[in-house]
Amino acid sequence: MSHALKILPEGRVLKVASGKILSDVLEDAGLRLSLYCGRRGLCGKCIVEIVRGALPSASDEERSLLARRKLPANFRLACRARVEGDMAIRIPLESLLLHMPVLSHGVGRSLTLDPAVKKISLSAQKPDLASPDSLLDFIQRRFPNVELHLSLETLRRFAQNHQLAPAAAEWTAVLYADKELLAIEPGDTTGRDFGIAVDLGTTTVIVELLDLNTGKSLDSTAGLNAQVKYGADVVSRITAAYADPRKLEDLRTAIVGGLNEMVGGLLRRNQVSSDSVYEAVVAGNTAMNHLLLGLPVTTLAVSPYQAVFSVLPALPAVESGLAISPLGRVYIAPNIKSFVGGDISAGLSAVDLEHQKGNFLFVDLGTNGEIVLKRRARFTATSTAAGPAFEGMTISCGMLALPGAVYKAGFKDRLVVETIAGEPARGVCGTGLIDIIAVALDKGFISAQGHILGPAKKIEVTNDLSLNQQDIREVQLAVAAVKTGIRILLAKNKMAVKDLDGIYVAGAFGNYLNIPHSMKLGLLPCIDRKKIFFVGNSSLAGAKALLLSRPERIRCERLANRVRHLSLAKDAEFQTMFIEALEFKAWNS
Amino acid sequence: MSHALKILPEGRVLKVASGKILSDVLEDAGLRLSLYCGRRGLCGKCIVEIVRGALPSASDEERSLLARRKLPANFRLACRARVEGDMAIRIPLESLLLHMPVLSHGVGRSLTLDPAVKKISLSAQKPDLASPDSLLDFIQRRFPNVELHLSLETLRRFAQNHQLAPAAAEWTAVLYADKELLAIEPGDTTGRDFGIAVDLGTTTVIVELLDLNTGKSLDSTAGLNAQVKYGADVVSRITAAYADPRKLEDLRTAIVGGLNEMVGGLLRRNQVSSDSVYEAVVAGNTAMNHLLLGLPVTTLAVSPYQAVFSVLPALPAVESGLAISPLGRVYIAPNIKSFVGGDISAGLSAVDLEHQKGNFLFVDLGTNGEIVLKRRARFTATSTAAGPAFEGMTISCGMLALPGAVYKAGFKDRLVVETIAGEPARGVCGTGLIDIIAVALDKGFISAQGHILGPAKKIEVTNDLSLNQQDIREVQLAVAAVKTGIRILLAKNKMAVKDLDGIYVAGAFGNYLNIPHSMKLGLLPCIDRKKIFFVGNSSLAGAKALLLSRPERIRCERLANRVRHLSLAKDAEFQTMFIEALEFKAWNS
């Protein structure tokens, strides 16, 4: 027997076999419902209004849940209700899955909100006086067929909270990945559920606070990596930790302390308690990930530069030292191989590279330059030591892309510059460097070999700022490293620039990189500029994607395992190509 | 197509479809192979010798494993080998599953060795120099389709060990429940794999060291529960912890410290490192379990006496404070309900009560008297406050059943006693008490009401030892508590003594309890003495069973959830029955 099911507001009418579960029918019809608790009838997020027709029967538990949410009698949970007659239903907007944009600008992608951490509110049950269940039983029984893991600390806190409020009518179970019970909080705390996304750069660290109920970003903060005092680049920090195990602990303490200050500030100013933050996702390069976790970097210091881990399950927050809930988890975006780390796997998630049709380059211009080439279904990655020049470090007047940084330059009779936020010029950031050098090259102030021509031996930027010969050399090295990396990746995949369907440019440059200028210097290959997509901080965007979607995390891990690494150091052609690339010159193919 | 498979030494010939996996064929034929690593071809425990016929092909991994074990070329792993032609095989004895006896005496049961902790040795792989895997990858890849969980501490130790021995050719993965990676040890450490079983009694604690490769007990040690200074019985300790949360921590510290001294001594004298001990299983009553874990006992102090937990997944050892490997696990035998705790669920496992056909009583005579009635498939349990009299506490000349304890008494012209190990009498233990009082009753030295008759007002046991009126009262109360518990359980199940197929008697008494004497006092109902089974310390035996077999643990948890509790305090008849039962008198039905 079958029934007619009318779906409002769209008006479609489905023919449904009798007895079918409403959520299954709606999913089959292409409607993506919020099945937050995994069809367990516990969260009440898939409510539908029965506008007309046969009202499906409801269990006591379902009725009590609907009553707690103060819904009229004609509402039902789609994951519980069976179609037992003709009916018309209306699906409230909030019962549909949320799609979250991931990148703040540039090419968009969105994903479905489905975080690893979920909060489910449960009504306490009065104990049977003769045969009383344990306190934990009512939680465990609501999740049949799952052996809920929990720590002793979780159990202790629950018991202590129960001691303070033995008559509490409601409790909130905080679940991780549907099988770990992180916490049992008194009352209904489902409304307060937050997560932290971290872009752990060698130079810059960005921390963002997100609401896991809406997927929305609430606030963010940026700062210098507190490890910079141990060295500006990855290699110097690895060397420090390699030479002296105590330094490893110092480096760990520095970054954990620095992160905790940023997290603490963010939570205070948004009035969020750290106890409501059950997950942090960190996207960092391989070395930063190791140093954050206090893992020896011995194997990263010598060829073939093996990481200790690639894919790692989420770790107890308490072990990491991060100041979120000690019962929470810290997830590290997977290291791909060697120095192609979690910032890149996160970046690939952010742009959804795996699902783009065709051949693409993904170039992340940070302190290290990482490049991933997608040739149909095959991924190859490499990293080049670009150095921190693009982030303004090692440049005499360099600075991060902050207010007052010269970020754009052109030529009208003389060099004309723009600063971020229009503030008085305090220094030059990466995009400004590219612009200034391209103009200088164009106007003959420097040679293609990077020599500053003319007697001043410097390029005047403003009255107070100038680039010297050493600054130009730093940029030459950085550009050559990236250019050589791209060329070798293409060559090994028997591809030419014309075979590329697009280039994603990620990193500190944001979308301010001047494309003609960067092509003029040879930083980017010459292709149709519509095929160049600036994706900004894809590492942070990826960290957010992995925080907001556990399925995306699983996809990201699978992709990380599939990427093949190309070691430039092992490549015979590298030195030759690199020296050639030192010349500022546009690609000729 | 099918082939003939001859199994030696038994000589049976099976007809097998071509291409079938040998281990599946043998399992179907009723042969229980050791499939320790879960058919993953990793442990090499299911080897078979191909005596004649088609030698199955072997993968490189299989060959390398067989070579490492120095086996001739005609050996194969049964879980990998396919039957691809007629053949004759010989199954070495060590490839068959080990069956372990659980109870040291009394009714036997055996179970298959299948512990939660498993050690698998793996060969390290040389990294691909251009695209090097992470150090962890070679471990994770050997367990495909499993997301191996691990702690940061596990990863750190592995990386540190790798730093010390980067060229180590072999590593041993320590797995828990097939999905948690507890440790990765350098070298092949599969031979050293130990576990601890603990009977955590209110008065007495017994710790046993077992070899998880053979299931054999290596050594054990017993001592007083270090909490006795806070009170002899459960109630006084709960009261202490209830009144003052600092006392809870004191109690926890006392028992953890006491246990660690015992464990430490045991390990030292058997030259076992605590790092080779990855699991401890604790069987204790509900209150002891709570105090061991530092859980508030508030709900255990007031009606309806709710436990904080019943079934609990194994906890990280480091959280418990137990001095086994900090990467290991501590499993607490499930509390059934209220004061019927993990000692009883373990005891039911030890005697395999669930699978006995018929109606049985299980009586555990410790400081608390717990009674479980199995009526066909239905289980009812209760606990009675027997007090520690049966363990020799609260008796003026009482002592534990140790050398020098009077444990037997009879009458030949005068009271004749025997001491344990024939040593000079130092005190009287539980079985001795029962004997002495039964003889005294028989000979008219005391009345059925427990009054000492005659002028001496004491019962002389030896020249130096005697029982006074208060001692008799203590035994009266203990006997009455047990008797009343049994009577009410039978009554609620509408059963009479004659409906019982047997009584399991567990507890401190061991198998020295004199059956006619205990029936004479009314401690046990009067049934055919062949139906009475002494099972000794079933709590410890159960802890061992749960340590040696994870499947048994799952069965035990399911049973614990099924047992219905009967609260004597709630029972209107209890007081009346109890007062009646104070009279020393045999059961009349």
For B153, nearest residue in chain A (alpha carbons): A319
Which whole number is the average pLDDT over A515-544?
Answer: 93
Chain A residues touching B160 at Cβ < 8 A: 296
Q: In A429-529, at which residue ranges do the beta strands (DSSP E only) sit?
A: 458-460, 466-468, 502-507
Whether residues A132 and B312 touch (CB distance < 8 A) is answered with no
Record: contact B295-A338, CB cut-off 8 A: no
A529, A563 contact by CB (below 8 A) = no
Q: What is the CATH number of domain B2-95?
A: 3.10.20.30
What's the confidence (pLDDT) of residue B367? 73
Q: Given this model, what pLDDT does residue B236 score?
A: 87
Mean pLDDT, residues B374-393 taken together: 88
Q: Using a CB-CB distance cutoff of 8 angstroms, which residues of chain B are in contact with residue A133?
A: 306, 310, 337
Q: Tokens at residue A160, please?
A: 């202590």
Measured between beta carbons, the chain B residues lying within 8 angstroms of A129 are 303-304, 567, 570
From A290, which residue of chain B is nearest by alpha-carbon distance?
B156
Calpha distance A569→A304 (Å, rounded): 9
CB A50 within 8 A of CB A75: yes
Question: How would you list the strands of the sheet with A277-284, edge to edge?
Answer: A217-224, A204-211, A194-200, A277-284, A329-332, A315-316
**pLDDT the model gives residue A432:** 94
Cβ within 8 Å of B, A 287-316: 293-296, 298-299, 303-313, 315-316
Cis peptide before A115 (omega within 30 of 0): no
Identify any residues that bridge with B329 across adjacent strands, giving them in sequence order. Answer: B279, B316
Which residue has tokens 């979607």?
A549
Residue B277's pLDDT band (cuts 50, 70, 90): very high
All residues of chain A having their beta carbon less than 8 Å from the beta carbon of residue B296 are: 159-160, 162-163
- Which A positions 316-345 lie with beta carbon below 8 A of chain B? 316, 319-320, 335, 337-338
Does B316 contact A151 at a Cβ distance shorter than 8 Å?
yes
The answer to whether A129 contacts B303, with C-beta atoms less than 8 Å apart, is yes
CATH architecture of A99-186: Roll (3.10)
Angle at which helix B342-351 crosses helix B538-548, to 10 degrees, equals 80
Contacts of B319 in chain A (CB under 8 A): 151-153
Provide the percentage of residues in chain B whose pLDDT is more than 90: 76
Instruction: Please answer whether residues B426 and B407 qualify as being in contact, where contact means their C-beta atoms are separated by less than 8 angstroms.
Output: no
Provide the CA B422 distance to its chain's centre, in angstroms: 30
Picking from A155, A294, A565, the nearest residue to B131 by CB comes out as A565
Three-state secondary structure call for residue B176: strand
> Which of B14-23, B102-111, B213-222, B240-249 shows the lowest per-residue confidence on average (mean pLDDT)?
B102-111
For CA atoms A238, A243, A245, A249, give the dihedral sign: negative
* Arithmetic mean of pLDDT, B486-491: 95
**Is A229 a residue whose pLDDT tops 50?**
yes
The candidate with the shortest Cα–Cα distance to B275, out of B321, B324, B226, is B324
**CA separation for the pair A486, A524 (Å, rounded):** 9
The pLDDT of residue A460 is 93
Over residues A322-350, the pLDDT tens digits come to 999 999 999 999 999 999 999 999 999 99
pLDDT recorded at residue A101: 67
- Is residue B528 classed as helix, strand or coil in its secondary structure? coil
**Tens digits of per-residue pLDDT, A232-241?**
788 889 999 9
pLDDT tens sequence across A270-327: 999 999 999 999 999 999 999 999 999 999 999 899 999 999 999 999 999 999 999 9
Q: Which of B247-256, B390-399, B469-478 has the lowest mean pLDDT?
A: B390-399
Name, in order, each residue with C-beta under 8 angstroms of A530's C-beta and a sequence gap of 6 or more. none
Q: Is A133 close to B306, i.e. CB distance below 8 A?
A: yes
Tell me whether B4 touches chain A (CB under 8 Å). Answer: no
**B208 — phi, psi (to 5°)?**
-125, 140
| Residues B337, A162: C-beta atoms closer than 8 Å | no
Q: H or E stretch including B489? A: helix B469-492
The confidence band for B102, taking pLDDT boundaries of 50, 70 and 90, is low
Q: Per-residue pLDDT averaged across B347-367, rounded? A: 92
The pLDDT value given to residue B106: 46
pLDDT, residue A368, reads 79
Q: Is the minimum CB–CB distance between A138 and chain B shorter than 8 Å?
A: no
The number of beta carbons lying within 10 Å of the beta carbon of residue A99 is: 13
* B341 pLDDT tier (thresholds 50, 70, 90): very high
- A245: closest chain B residue by CA: B160
Which residue of chain B comes nearest to A334, CA vs CA?
Answer: B134
Rounded CA separation B405/B172 (Å)? 48
- Alpha carbon B460 to chain centroid distance? 39
Instruction: State the pLDDT at residue A518.
Output: 94
Structure ipTM: 0.90
d(C-alpha B222, C-alpha B199), whole Å: 9
- pLDDT tens-place string over residues B223-271: 889 998 888 788 889 999 988 889 999 999 999 999 999 999 999 999 9
Please name which of A79, A58, A68, A41 lies closest in space to residue A123, comparing C-alpha atoms.
A68
Tell me if A546 sits within 8 A of A346, measured CB to CB: yes
Least Cα distance to A589 among A542, A516, A527 occurs for A527
Give me the residues of B, 539-558, that contact A with CB < 8 A. none
Q: Across the interface, which of B134, B153, B320 has its CB nearest the CB of A309? A: B134
* Residue carrying the six token digits 């102090």: B301
Token pair belonging to A452: 């500053």
Picking from A150, A163, A308, the nearest residue to B134 by CB comes out as A308
* pLDDT digits 0-9 by tens, A78-91: 999 999 999 999 99
Residue of chain B with shortest Cα separation from A179:
B313
Q: How many CB pairs (< 8 A) connect A and B?
A: 161
Res. B41: pLDDT tops 50: yes
Asked if B338 and B532 touch (Cβ cutoff 8 Å), the reply is no
Phi-psi region of B453 (alpha: psi -120 to 50; beta: other; left: phi over 0): beta
- DSSP H stretches of helix in A280-416: 286-293, 298-301, 317-320, 342-351
Sign, CA dihedral B59-B63-B68-B69, equals positive
Long-range contacts of A457-460 (CB under 8 A, 24+ apart): A459/A415, A460/A415
The first and second tokens of residue B281, run together, are 């299983």
Q: What is the mean pLDDT of residues B44-67?
A: 91
Mean pLDDT, residues A468-474 taken together: 95
Nearest to B152 among A162, A299, A315 (CB): A315
Q: What are phi and psi of A94, to 5 degrees?
A: -70, -10
- Model confidence at B400, pLDDT cuts 50, 70, 90, reads confident
Q: What six digits make up the tokens of A485?
A: 């990396």
* Domain chopping of chain B, boundaries: 2-95, 99-186, 194-332, 351-589
Interface of B with A in 158-217 (CB under 8 A): 158-160, 162-163, 166
* pLDDT tens by residue, B570-581: 778 888 999 999
Which residues, other chains included, contact B128 with Cβ-Cβ below 8 Å and sequence gap of 6+? A304
User: Which of B164, B244, B309 is most worth mutating to test chain A (most A CB atoms within 10 A of its CB)?
Assistant: B309
- Identity (one letter) of the amino acid at A274? S
Q: Please give the single-letter amino acid code of residue B571.
A: D
What CATH topology corresponds to A194-332? Nucleotidyltransferase; domain 5 (3.30.420)
What's the pLDDT at A108?
56
Split at pLDDT 50, 70, 90, the class of A32 is confident
Task: Please answer whether residues A339 and A368 qualify as being in contact, where contact means their C-beta atoms are separated by less than 8 angstroms.
Answer: yes
Task: Provide the 3-class DSSP secondary structure of residue B241.
Answer: helix
Beta-sheet strands, E only, within A274-377: 277-284, 315-316, 329-332, 359-365, 369-375
Q: Cα(A231)–Cα(A202) distance, rounded to whole angstroms? A: 10
Q: Do domains A2-95 and A99-186 have the same CATH topology?
A: yes
Q: How far apart are CA A397 and CA A384, in angstroms?
A: 24
State yes or no: pLDDT of A569 exceeds 80.
Answer: no
Q: Whose CA is closest to A111, among A346, A376, A375, A379? A: A346
**A131 reaches B (C-beta below 8 A):** yes
> Nearest residue on chain A to B335, judged by CA atoms?
A134
Residue B535 contacts residue B351 (beta carbons within 8 Å): yes
Contact A173, A184 (CB under 8 A): yes
Contact A121, A82 (CB under 8 A): no
pLDDT at B107: 52
Between B127, B147, B312, which is nearest A306 by CB? Answer: B127
Testing the interface with A: which of B135, B145, B319 to mutate, by most A Cβ within 10 A?
A: B135
* Cβ-Cβ contacts under 8 Å, B307 against chain A: 132, 134-135
The chain-wide mean pLDDT, for chain B, equals 92
CA distances from A315 to A158, A262, A335, B552 (A): 21, 20, 15, 30
State the pLDDT at residue B103.
61
**What pLDDT does residue B510 have?**
67
Predicted pLDDT at B326: 97
Look up the pTM and report it. Answer: 0.91
The mean pLDDT value of chain A amounts to: 92
Residue A106's pLDDT band (cuts 50, 70, 90): very low
Max CA pair span of chain A: 98
Tell whether B92 is within 8 A of chain A (Cβ). no
Across the interface, whether the CB atoms of A133 and B310 are under 8 A apart is answered: yes
Q: Give the integer Cα–Cα distance in Å for B368 and B224.
A: 16
